[in-house]
Structure 1
Amino acid sequence: GAALALTAVCHAAMPGALAFLTFQRDRGTEIESLGALVLHGARHFGWEGEVRLNYGSVEFLGPYVPLVSGAALALSVVALGWLVVWRLRAREFAASTPYDAAFVAVLLFTTTSRVISPQYLLWLVGLAAACLVVRTSGMVLPARLVLVATGVTLLEFPLLFAHVVASDPLGVLLLTVRNGLLVAATLVACRRLWVRTVAAPRRRAARTGLVSPGVAVRTRATAR
């Protein structure tokens, strides 16, 4: 209630304060994003869209772009849902868990975003470094993948960005490698976080017979 009231006051006092929501709605798909790979490929098969500087980034605009952007948004919602489920089911927290969880969250939303700017990789590198400071972190491999992806990003932008804009084979190859590394890092990081905080504690509890009463009741009912 207080948040809504504050939003209403800001909107009344500063007309246009919420215009950024409209800007986000009207944006296309940034040409370096994961979903943009579909449109890069479509350009070679007669797709009639265009590449244009739009809202401060170079984006694809045209037919089917809203569909690709919508798919990216849906993936981000799925990522958020996974994080909520993880938090509800996590049973064991080590000193590294807050760092690992933050790294995984930013990885998820970076990889699924319809905009992947080079500075996003700097955020990931910083979080990866924070994870690796804690010896119990399970993010060593994902952190290395992010570092390699950052190196590829330096080639893709600014050095060879013209090839990306043109959707030529070199540009598409660079994007495929960089985004593939991000996808791999995301999947590995999610799995390791889940195993360390959810799956492994449950297995240990099952081996020692430390199951919750609800689980025990369901087990007996099933046996009958």
Structure 2
Amino acid sequence: MALLLLRDSLGVGGVGREVYVLYQLWYRQFAQGTFPVDDVTWQYPPGAGLVIMSPGVLPSLTYFQGFVALALLADAAITLALARADSDRVTHGAWVWVGGLPLLLHIPLARYDVQVTALAVLGLLALKSRSAAARRLGGVLGGVLAGVGALVKVWPVLTLIGTPRGRTTRDAWIAAATTVVALLGTLALLFSDSLGFLRQQGSRGIQIESLGGTALALARWTGSWPGTVEYRYGAFEYIGPYVSSVGRLALLLTVLAFVWLVLWRLRARSWSEATPLDAALAAVLLFTVTSRVISPQYMIWLLGLAAVCLTSRETVMRPVTLLLLPAAALSSLAYPVLYDEVVAASWPGVAVMVVRNGLLLAAALLAARRLWTSTVTVPA
């Protein structure tokens, strides 16, 4: 992976450009005490600034070298934590991570999603503690890590959706809320325009790699839709008739996914050691497939959560994991290998996206079904 990043010539190339151009530009702005102002590519919660600034703790390295080194360090932390959780040698969480991440080629080392995934993985493993005393401390620690993760990239807050009812849930959510408020207040005091990302996030359209984008690509390939592709907000998006309708449909499906998760939470009556892990993977999968954006780095989150699930013998997500591994390989085939074909909506690009997103949709529906049947419709 490191060698591929150093050469960075596979497919369309330039995977590392986001780090040594965009991230480094933001780093200089943070050094001046402000979040990126009027920058349409800044669409992240304020906690992301901490990750962008983190290479500064390694002054002996260039920004690019420091960023990659910290990504590798986060990868190592995840691997060691999963290996420790796999200590009974029956489960395979660490192997899913170690074998799954390289399927994404060098993308994980040139995005900050490995660092975010580390927060989610460590938080979930803390919630997995067996003894009562460890569970209480694990609830607080899991909540703190989920709160930090939520301020970096939002989705880690979903790791708390399956916390066991009672004290663990209260401790975790109170710790997460307290962490968010404290960290958000600190960043607002130290930097100006900390909430500016909300303007850019609300204006995003349908990215070509999303589920809705795949539907439009199929229509474009068959000649039944006259839309075009335009580079906006740091990604290629579809422009043309019905795009806004597809965007509203995606938002509606996201709301329905949230309603389903709340309903599951209320109806669930059987909790096992694996339930918080399985619920986190199912929740993130549902929000991923209903998103207007499904970038290849999103697969890093899903592989990390799948790996955590497989640290427990009681997980019901093994078949879901088997769908995510080929989906990860197809994601890197779509970008960077065949990205020109995906942008042009030619048959190879459309075929890759149909299969990749079909696997993700199947994984999301299967995860939701298995979570429901294992916790709600439990045999008498």
Give TM-score scaled by structure 1 length: 0.81
Q: 113-122 or 13-22: which moved more? A: 13-22
Q: What letter matches 1:137 in structure 2?
A: T
Q: 1:1-224 maps to which residues of 2 (within 5 A)?
A: 16-44=193-221, 45=223, 47-200=225-378, 203-204=379-380
Q: What letter matches 1:143 in structure 2?
A: T
For structure 2, list consecutive stretches of 5 or more residues without a partner in the other structure: 1-177
Cα deviation for residue 16 of structure 1 reads 4.7
Q: What letter matches 2:337 in structure 1?
A: L
- Please list the CA deviations of residues 63-101 of structure 1 after superposition, one character each: whole Å capped at 9, or x if unmatched: 221111111111111100000000000001000000000
> SS in structure 2 opposite 1:29?
coil
Cα deviation for residue 52 of structure 1 reads 1.7
Structure (1 or 2) with the larger CA radius of gyration: 1
> SS in structure 1 opposite 2:342?
helix
- Please list the CA deviations of residues 6-38 of structure 1 after superposition, one character each: whole Å capped at 9, or x if unmatched: x99x99997754432332222110000000122
User: Matches of 1:102 and 1:53 in 2, distance apart?
Assistant: 32
Q: What letter matches 1:24 in structure 2?
A: Q
User: Matches of 1:191 and 1:43 in 2, distance apart?
Assistant: 33
Report the number of matched residues: 200
Cα deviation for residue 61 of structure 1 reads 2.0
User: Matches of 2:244 and 2:362 in 1, distance apart?
Assistant: 26
User: Matches of 1:54 and 1:16 in 2, distance apart?
Assistant: 22
- Please list the CA deviations of residues 99-133 of structure 1 after superposition, one character each: whole Å capped at 9, or x if unmatched: 00000011001111010011100100000000011
Cα deviation for residue 51 of structure 1 reads 1.1
Q: 78-87 or 54-63: which moved more? A: 54-63
> SS in structure 2 opposite 1:117?
coil
Give TM-score scaled by structure 2 length: 0.49
User: Matches of 2:240 and 2:201 in 1, distance apart?
Assistant: 16
- Please list the CA deviations of residues 123-159 of structure 1 after superposition, one character each: whole Å capped at 9, or x if unmatched: 0000000001101100000011011100111211110
User: Matches of 2:193 and 2:346 in 1, distance apart?
Assistant: 40
User: Matches of 1:12 and 1:70 in 2, distance apart?
Assistant: 35
Identity rate, percent: 48
Q: What letter matches 1:26 in structure 2?
A: S
For structure 1, list consecutive stretches of 5 or more residues without a partner in the other structure: 205-224
Structure 1 vs Structure 2 CA RMSD: 2.4
Q: 95-104 or 19-28: which moved more? A: 19-28
Distance 1:90 1:59, change over 3 A: same
Q: What letter matches 1:164 in structure 2?
A: V
Q: 116-125 or 52-61: which moved more? A: 52-61
Q: 168-177 or 57-66: which moved more? A: 57-66
- Please list the CA deviations of residues 177-220 of structure 1 after superposition, one character each: whole Å capped at 9, or x if unmatched: 000001111111111100010001xx41xxxxxxxxxxxxxxxx
User: Matches of 1:36 and 1:26 in 2, distance apart?
Assistant: 16
User: Matches of 2:358 and 2:219 in 1, distance apart?
Assistant: 19
Cα deviation for residue 50 of structure 1 reads 2.1
